[in-house]
Structure 1
Amino acid sequence: MSNKEEQVGEAVPASQRGSWTSFLKSMTSFSGDLSSMTAPPFILSPVSLTEFPAYWCERPELFAAIADGKTEEDRAQAVLRWFISTLKGQYTSRNESMGSEKKPLNPVLGELFYGVWPGSKASPGVTTLLVEQVSHHPPITAYRIENKEKGLVLTGHSAQRTSFSAGSIVVRQVGHAVLTIGGSEEYLITLPRLRIDGLWYGSPYIELCETSYIAASTGYLSTIEYKGKGYFSGKSHSFKATLAPPSGKGQPTAVEGLWHVSSKTSKGVPFHDVTTPKEEVTVADIQEQEPFESRRLWSAVAKGIRSGDFETASKEKTIIENEQRQRRRDEAAAGTKWELKHFKHIDSDPVYERLGKLFKANPPTEDFYEFLGNAPEIKVPAA
């Protein structure tokens, strides 16, 4: 037996080691998308993937500050700063709070998540969040974040294509987001690729890799390169970003550091810092939520996972999944199709086609989910 095999399950609960080993062996021979595989319950997160867009705005003061930029360059820098600040929550928060990366619950078609950041002196204006699961196979999540007072709107969608390679899970994030300032200035934001390492120890963690972009309608382009241990700084979660102005409008700005901690510009000026407290999104009490709202839908599963009662969690999860399958069978028999509540699918996004030319986007076009303009009233909690 190899050393790697001897180490399998070091961080895995004793009762789960057999299922974890079987899961790893299944992955090595699985040829499809790994998201369709059933993971051992101890590695599941008590949170559905529909909640993940909330990570875009854990620091609503940085989101609000984008609109305060006096110049095109100021705003492009503010967008880059805000985007880098979102990465910690999206890709390392489970490691820090739960001991390792966890597989989020796979949302059902039509699942919803509504939230709000009430606003403060540091973060003026109410910021709202609306999320809808617009596809189940493959899983696609559409979202919209808006701060009306500051004239900021972020609309996007994300999906994952997963495969197993060289002992790691490789995740290609499909989709993009468009940030609009004042209804006119636009920013196309692409998503980084992920590599999930640490599987053999039962302690998965995420490294970002390759390159993502932020392309502005003003001509500014941020190119963000991600590297893990052994590259730029020899540390995990390293990145280098270059903000390039349009031709003839000055010199590029370089930023380097650790995206889950802090970074500086090439002149040594602090650029971003996510070691300070974040602001959680506020949601309605579970009793007040609609049946398809995420926390109400998965409440029994989440309770089982958090308490370590994996048998109950698995049972409740199976009930939800069987109901989902039956709903699709009923629709097929009736010749009907599930109607989306807040979004409409469009085959190609003109913003992606136009701004993607700044970095020679490949593919040159992508589909999109257009918001229908029917946001529910999201109540701001009393101070």
Structure 2
Amino acid sequence: MSDEDIAPGSDVEQEVLDDEPKSILLGIIGQLRKGGDLSRVTLPTFVLEPRSMTERITDFMSHPELINNAPLNTDPVGRFADVVAYFLSGWHIKPKGVKKPYNPVLGEFFRCRWDFEDGSTAYYVCEQVSHHPPVSVYFYANPQNDIWISGHVRPASKFLGNSAATLMRGTHHVQFKRSWPGEEYTVTLPNVYARGILFGSMYLELGDSVVLKCPKNDLVADIDFQTKGFFTGVYNGVKGRIKRESSGEVIYNIAGKWTDSIQFTKASTSEKKTVFNAATAQIHTKVPPAEDAQEEFEARKLWERVTKGITTKNLDYATKEKTAIEDNQRVILKERAAKGVTWQPRFFTGPVDDDWSFGLKE
């Protein structure tokens, strides 16, 4: 796809690399075959987003107004629709062009809280429990509003020619434990595609199908994140249906763009409602611990100098500091192996049936 394939004024955020960074990236890609695994490739700092994957996951929790009152809703279909809208709301938060968050080191963690206008507070912690393959496990709780979200992300990156794909594997759960015990919503994630890495403009797309289920209430949402082909498709499109899983009865049709607005249309009446508008939605500010209270392997402190280099465009400094972190990890792993010590997560236990449980260690 060439630059001309992207219409002027479209909502695709493009990035055109200068000759030097482009040649560096092409040199790395030139060592790969189509379908090759990118997880062990050390990427240059100019393609990095200045935050860790352990923090980036918090984008999912940026619009709590869509779910904070869901436990009070006595209609199971209404609760399900709230969870679907909430799931679709955070994807618009992304850097311009194609940027990849830092690949967290083993034992790295990010924690924060949100203070909401209704007087409630939500808490979040994410820990990197595996480096190869990368696995980030997270837990979010708003106890006052009875909202509990947990899951893990196992991204696997593949080189596809002029694109690179990040396959977002993992399990994700939403629960209202006190209000609706035994009711659990399970969610899969769309895959992420970096387009134009060999020629043309670089841009990011979400693609493929995801499924959101609540088995207890016999509800399922099949959602397709649409991508733009040469002749068909749209940029950033979302299309899907909320239906009864047992009968296939469609309750709502879903349509819109994850970068813009999303509408639910009631199948029985054709009544349409905008459930999310990225242009007007407020991104709630997360509050991490104060800098002097952060620990060595707390994400912002760990990557602080790399972030400074990227944000001030001093990429040589950022690369030096990133290399120092990676070298230190190799030393730690070597020392641990020599002593026969098996590393254990601090905040989570598992996996059991490919799932993790939150639980602080002493």
TM range (shorter): 0.7 to 0.9
Structure 2 unaligned residues grouped into runs of 5+: 4-14
Which deviations, in whole Å up to 9, do the C-alpha atoms of 1:305-363 show, x marking residues without a partner?
A: 11111111111111111111111111111111111101112241xxxxxxxxxxxxxxx
| Displacement after TM superposition at 1:186 (Å) | 0.7
The aligned residue for residue 7 of structure 2 is none
Work out which of the residue numbers 171, 175, 180 in structure 2 matches 1:180: 175
Give the letter aligned to residue 175 of structure 2. Answer: T
Shift of 1:280: 2.5
- Work out whether 1:320 is the aligned partner of 2:325: yes
1:122-174 CA distance string (max 9 Å, x none): xx511111111111111110000101011110010001111112421122111
Relative to the length of structure 1, the TM-score reads 0.83
Aligned mates of 1:103, 1:181 — CA distance in 2 = 33
Question: What amino acid is aligned across from residue 237 of structure 2 in structure 1?
Answer: S
Equivalent residue number for residue 370 of structure 1: 357
How many Å apart are 1:64 and its aligned residue? Answer: 1.1
Q: Which residue, out of 296, 299, 303, partners 1:294?
A: 299
Q: 2:156 aligns with which of 156, 161, 173?
A: 161
Match of 1:115 in 2: 112
CA distance in 1, matches of 2:360, 2:85: 28
- Which one-letter code corresponds to 1:177 in the other structure? H
Contact 1:178 1:187 in 2 (8 A): yes
Identity %: 28
**Is the contact made by 1:287 and 1:296 (CA closer than 8 Å) also made in structure 2?**
no
Task: Provide the aligned C-alpha RMSD in A.
Answer: 2.5
Which piece of structure 1 moves more, 316-325 or 35-44? 35-44
The equivalent position to 1:192 in structure 2, one of 190, 193, 198, is 190
What is the aligned partner in structure 2 of residue 209 from structure 1?
207
The question of whether the paired residues in 1 share the 8 Å contact of 2:155 and 2:169 is answered with yes
SS at match of 2:138: strand
Q: Does 1:278 align with 2:275?
A: no
Q: Which has the higher helix share?
A: 1
Spell out the pairing of 1:337-348 with structure 2 (5 A cutoff): 337-348=342-353
**CA shift in 2, pair 1:86/1:324, >3 Å:** same
Give, in whole Å, the separation in 2 of the partners of 1:31 and 1:220: 36
1:114/1:202 CA distance change after superposition, 3 Å: farther
1:156 maps to amino acid: G
1:190-220 Cα distance to aligned partner (Å, 9 max, x none): 1112222121357532222221111113211
Whole-Å separation in 1 of the counterparts to 2:245 and 2:231: 27
CA distance in 2, matches of 1:228, 1:298: 33
**Conserved? CA contact 1:163–1:171, under 8 Å:** yes
Do 2:161 and 2:198's aligned partners in 1 also have CA atoms closer than 8 Å?
no
Q: Which aligned pairs between 1:80-99 and structure 2 lie closer than 5 A?
A: 80-89=84-93, 93-95=94-96
Partner residue of 1:146 out of 124, 130, 141: 141
Counterpart of 1:64 in structure 2 is 68
Superposition pairs of residues 254-269 of structure 1, within 5 angstroms: 254-266=253-265, 267=270, 268-269=272-273
**Are the counterparts in 1 of residues 37 and 159 from structure 2 also a CA contact under 8 Å?**
no
Gaps of 5+ in 1: 5-9, 349-366, 376-383
> Please, which of 13, 24, 29 is the counterpart of residue 24 of structure 1?
29
Q: Give the number of equivalent residue pairs.
A: 341
Q: Whole-Å Cα distance in 2 between the matches of residues 203 and 308 of structure 1?
A: 21
Distance between the aligned counterparts of 1:87 and 1:241, measured in 2? 16
Counterpart CA distance in 2 for 1:209 and 1:332 is 40
Summarize the Cα distance change of 1:232–1:136 in structure 2 as closer, same or farther, 3 Å threshold. Answer: same
TM-score (norm 2): 0.87
Measured after TM superposition, the shift of residue 17 of structure 1 is: 3.4
Aligned-partner SS, 1:156? strand
Once the two structures are overlaid, the 10-residue window that deviates more, 192-201 or 243-252, is 243-252
Q: Distance in 1 between matches of 2:84 and 2:78?
A: 10
Mapped partners of 1:340, 1:258: distance in 2? 38
Q: In the alignment, what sits opposite 1:362?
A: none
How far, CA to CA, are the matches of 1:32 and 1:230 in structure 2?
22
Aligned partner of residue 300 in structure 1, secondary structure = helix
Aligned partner of 1:357 in structure 2 is none
Contact 1:213 1:223 in 2 (8 A): yes
